[in-house]
Amino acid sequence: MSDTIAPPMQEQETDGQKPSWKRPQLFDLVSKKAGSDSFLKRLAWALGAYVGVLVIFGIVVEIKGANAFSVLSTMIHETLLRSDSLQQAALRAVPVTLAALAVAIPARAGMVNVGGEGQLIVGAVAASGIGVALGGSAPGPIGWAVMLLAGAAAGGLWGGICGWLRTGMGANEAVTTLLMNFIANDLMLYLIYQPWKDPHSSGQPESRPLHSALQLPALFGSQINLGVILAATVALVVWVAMKYSGWGFALRVVGGNPEAARRAGLGVNRLMLSSMVAGGALAGIGGMLNLAGVELQLRPDITATFGYIAFLASWLGRHDPLKVVGASVLFSAIAVSGDGLQLNYGLDGTVTDILLGLIVVAPLFLSKRRLVSGGTR
């Protein structure tokens, strides 16, 4: 018996890129027979998948001894029909949306950024460091601008490192961004347990809170703060940049076929790196806005898996900026709706994580049908 099998094709080590060329694939031929799905049929599949999501979620809830229908109706009532929780959802959506766009932009260029969590953390860390150092010495707007820049720089650096490790060193960015999340978290824990520890805090260690002048102001007498407006503006800018700028177009070309992009004279590595820096910077801004608007000080679990929820949201929105924003807001609302379940049903709030996961299983389940019906990228 042979110890070796046919060696991989020619190894063109062109800047860490694999040559991508099509060879006849038996399986595509086989699955083509379903290619004539009508719109109605696809709609039926999609509806079926999401009904399945609710059924499975309901079963989980029932196993935990709560009534599935009343839990779902509570989630809807508590979130959609109460302005208080709608505002909470809007606040939660700030870091989630920006971290989701941090996934969506690199995805355009064919990169997988799973580092939203870490990029949110370092953004918040940098903003907190600068903010606490400023104290009350700077007027609000200047302080916010400096903190925002610091958060963006830190997030951009965190994402950029992984981008460079991919383009320069050939290390898979999905794995490096994941590892960097844990490193970011340990870095933050180190700071709040030792050098940045608030001497006045009791119990849970926290960093010193921001000076009240640096807190993002609430608007219209509601809980909604300036961060929501800023996040919405940033999202709009991203959408315009992706849709209308040459950079956004070039990213799509790189993501579609890096080899063709290279032949067309595009700086593929530079573009990929730029997408990771831009994505990381957005998540860093998200971390800063969450800190200055809501948290005010660093604490363990400050991000509470927002970065991963954002990853799922970007997938649900198929990395299209507007859809990604919609998915992020939806996911934030669902996550917030879980808070009441503990009180009313004794259900752990993380039960909504299961629902979020299942919601993303649905499009993954439908991938095959999408591939067959032409595939929109």
Partner 1 sequence: MNGIEQALIGGVDGGTAILLPGLGELVSQRSGVVNLGTEGCMLAGALASYAAAVDFHSAWVGVVIGMLAGSLCGGLHAWLVVKRKADQLASGLVIWFLALGVTSVFGSSFINKSVPPIAIWKIPLLGSIPWVGRILFDHDGLVYLSFVLVAAVWFLLYRTRMGLTLRATGERPEVVAATGGHPDRVKFLAVMLGAGLAGIGGAQLSVGYVDNWFNDMTNGYGFVAVAVVLFAAWRPVTVFLGSMMFGVALAAASVIQAHGIAVNQYLLDSLPYVITLIALVAFSRRGSSQAPEGLSKALTSSG
The rounded distance, in Å, linking the Cα atoms of 163 and 173 is 7
Judged by CB under 8 A, the residue of 13, 40, 200, 265 near partner 1 is 13
Judged by CB under 8 A, the residue of 189, 229, 237, 266 near partner 1 is 189
Judged by CB under 8 A, the residue of 22, 24, 83, 221 near partner 1 is 24
Judged by CB under 8 A, the residue of 64, 77, 211, 262 near partner 1 is 64
- Nearest distance from residue 207's CB to partner 1, in Å? 13
205 lines the binding site for partner 1 (CB under 8 A): no
For every residue of 308-335, DSSP letters joined together read: HHHHHHHHHTTT-HHHHHHHHHHHHHHH
181 lines the binding site for partner 1 (CB under 8 A): yes
Give me 223's structure tokens.
């809980």
Rg of the Cα trace of the chain? 22
**Mask of contacts with partner 1, 230-269, x by CB under 8 A?**
-------------------------x--------------
Other Cβ atoms closer than 10 A to 37: 16
Torsion of CA 107, 235, 168, 23, to 10 degrees: 20
Is residue 59 classed exposed, middle or buried when 0-12, 13-18 and 19+ CB atoms within 10 A define those classes? exposed
- Nearest distance from residue 7's CB to partner 1, in Å? 9
Look up tokens 């800047």; give the residue. 15
**C-alpha of 317 from chain center:** 11
The rounded distance, in Å, linking the Cα atoms of 249 and 345 is 49
Q: Which residue, 144 or 311, is less far from partner 1 as judged by CB?
A: 311
6 lines the binding site for partner 1 (CB under 8 A): yes
Q: What angle do CA 354, 223, 237 make, to 5 degrees?
A: 75
Judged by CB under 8 A, the residue of 190, 245, 260, 264 near partner 1 is 190
Judged by CB under 8 A, the residue of 14, 73, 137, 172 near partner 1 is 172
Asked whether the beta carbons of 142 and 247 are under 8 A apart, the reply is: no
- Amino acid 362 reads A
Judged by CB under 8 A, the residue of 27, 36, 202, 204 near partner 1 is 27
Kindly identify the residues of this chain, within the stretch 348-377, that bind partner 1 according to CB under 8 A: 348, 350-354, 356-358, 360-361, 364-368, 371, 377
For every residue of 75-118, DSSP letters joined together read: HHHHHHT-HHHHHHHHHHHHHHHHHHHHHHHHHHTT-----HHH
**Mask of contacts with partner 1, 264-293, x by CB under 8 A?**
------------------------------
183 lines the binding site for partner 1 (CB under 8 A): yes
Q: Which among 296, 266, 25 is positioned nearest to 147, based on CA atoms?
A: 296
- Nearest distance from residue 175's CB to partner 1, in Å? 5
Judged by CB under 8 A, the residue of 105, 165, 224, 335 near partner 1 is 165
Three-class DSSP category at 299: coil
- Nearest distance from residue 143's CB to partner 1, in Å? 28
- Nearest distance from residue 124's CB to partner 1, in Å? 16
322 lines the binding site for partner 1 (CB under 8 A): no
